[in-house]
Each structure stands twice: as C-alpha cells, then as structure tokens.
C-alpha cells in the first residue's frame, strides 16, 4: 500500500515539475527515515543529528517556497510521496529475516501493477508507440532493480547509514534534467537542495563515527585478559 501511494504521488509530481526539483524534495528521505526510525523503531539519534534534520527541513522550504509566486502545488505531491516511502522503508525494516528479498520485491511490484491496472480501467485506452513501449520496458527494468537493492540494503544495514546514499540521485537528476530536458533549477532550489544534502551527509558521518566507536568498545569488552 505504501509503495502504491508513493508511486502515484511521485509520478503525478514528476509529470508537472522539473526532474531536479522533484528529486531535491525526495532527498529529504534520509532525514525522514532517520527521524521515523528514532520515533518508531527506537534507534538512537543524538541531538546533533536531530539538529541536522531540522536544518534539512528548512532546506525543503527553500525548495518548495510555499506562499510565493514560484510555489508549485505539485510539490505537496512530492512531499506526500516522501511520507509513503518512509512508511514503506520502516515496514520493510520490520520484516522477518527469513522472508526472501525477491519475494518482497515480487509482492510489492504485483501490488502496484494490480492497483494501477484497476485504476486504469476508468481511463480511455490509448495505444502505445514502439518508442513508448521501449521507454516503459526500460523504466520497468530500473524499477525492478531499485526495488530489489533498496529492500536488500534496508534489511541488512542501519537505517541512518543506508539512507544518505540516496543523495546520489540528486546528481543524476541534475545531469539528466539538463542534458535530456534542458531544465536547470533556480538558485534557491539549488541552495535548498545543498542544505538538505549537507544535513544528510552530516547524519551519515555522525552515524558512521558512532558505529565505529561502538565497535571499538565491544572489541575491548570481549578481549581476553592478559592481552
């Protein structure tokens, strides 16, 4: 259900907004996941990372800019998609380790297909051209890979460590948006995206440092006496 909601709101926003703008909003995911893991999964998050999360959300306001002439209502759709993806990742985190990742990927993909297939019955049928079929097939291949690797990463790694790696998507969005669609974000959008990315990278750095310190402490406790 969470994946279906995320797909709908993300695609709707993508149809009406520049690629880089949508991706910049989605870069809040590492922050929302870290915050939600602290609130609902009991994972440890210190005041420094909480401050970084707050700063990241301030960066989102620079991207969305509510109440201004540049505000795009479909930015709200992108934010709702963030909420659904956060819920999806938390649920995935709670799955039993005995459940195969391939099975989770299959069930999730099938659920999205059935939901949108039923919703499509209310629309008029439009025949696809060869180019559209090829693009759809390519997108399907990327989605399958995205599902699988996302599920595998969320199940074996700490949420606060895995999530910041998603910031590479912003680099791809900037390059592809400029090269393919001729789009380039405004200065405030770039500033907001930089703030969000910086907050996430600090969260990643802080988590890595704490994890390294915890491993050292554990190794010292189990070291035999006399060594």
pLDDT for position 227: 47
Nearest Cα to 52, choosing from 201, 153, 154? 201
> Across the chain, which distance is largest between two alpha carbons, in Å?
78
pLDDT for position 87: 92
**Tens-digit pLDDT profile for residues 178-205:** 888 888 888 888 898 889 888 877 877 7
Any idea where the domains of the chain sit in the sequence?
A: 2-98+159-222
pLDDT for position 131: 93
**Tens-digit pLDDT profile for residues 144-182:** 888 788 778 777 766 656 656 767 778 888 888 888 888
Q: What is the mean pLDDT of the chain?
A: 83
Taking the C-alpha atoms of residue 151 and residue 155, their distance in angstroms, rounded to an integer, is: 6
- pLDDT band at residue 223, thresholds of 50, 70 and 90? low
Nearest Cα to 22, choosing from 203, 169, 128? 169
Q: How many C-alpha atoms does 3 have within 13 Å on its Cβ side?
A: 22
Residue 169 neighbours by CB under 8 Å, 6+ apart: 23, 26, 27
Taking the C-alpha atoms of residue 165 and residue 204, their distance in angstroms, rounded to an integer, is: 9
- Of residues 41 and 222, which shows the higher confidence score? 41
């Amino acid at each position: 259900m969470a994946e279906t909601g995320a797909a709908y709101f993300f695609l709707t926003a993508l149809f009406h907004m520049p690629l880089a703008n949508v991706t910049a909003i989605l870069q809040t995911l590492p922050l929302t996941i870290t915050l939600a893991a602290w609130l609902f999964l009991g994972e440890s998050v210190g005041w420094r990372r909480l401050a970084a999360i707050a700063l990241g959300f301030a960066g989102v306001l620079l991207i969305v800019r509510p109440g201004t002439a540049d505000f795009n209502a479909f930015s709200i759709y992108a934010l709702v998609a963030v909420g659904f993806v956060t819920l999806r990742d938390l649920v995935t985190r709670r799955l039993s380790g005995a459940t195969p990742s391939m099975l989770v990927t299959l069930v999730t993909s099938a659920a999205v297909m059935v939901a949108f297939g039923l919703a499509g019955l209310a629309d008029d049928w439009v025949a696809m051209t060869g180019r559209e079929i090829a693009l759809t097939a390519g997108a399907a291949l990327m989605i399958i890979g995205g599902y699988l690797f996302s599920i595998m990463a969320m199940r074996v790694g700490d949420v606060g460590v895995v999530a910041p790696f998603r910031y590479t998507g912003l680099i791809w969005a900037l390059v592809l948006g400029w090269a393919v669609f001729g789009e380039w974000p405004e200065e405030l959008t770039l500033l907001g995206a930089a703030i969000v990315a910086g907050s996430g990278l600090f969260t990643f750095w802080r988590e890595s440092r704490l994890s390294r310190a915890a491993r050292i402490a554990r190794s010292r406790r189990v070291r035999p006496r006399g060594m």
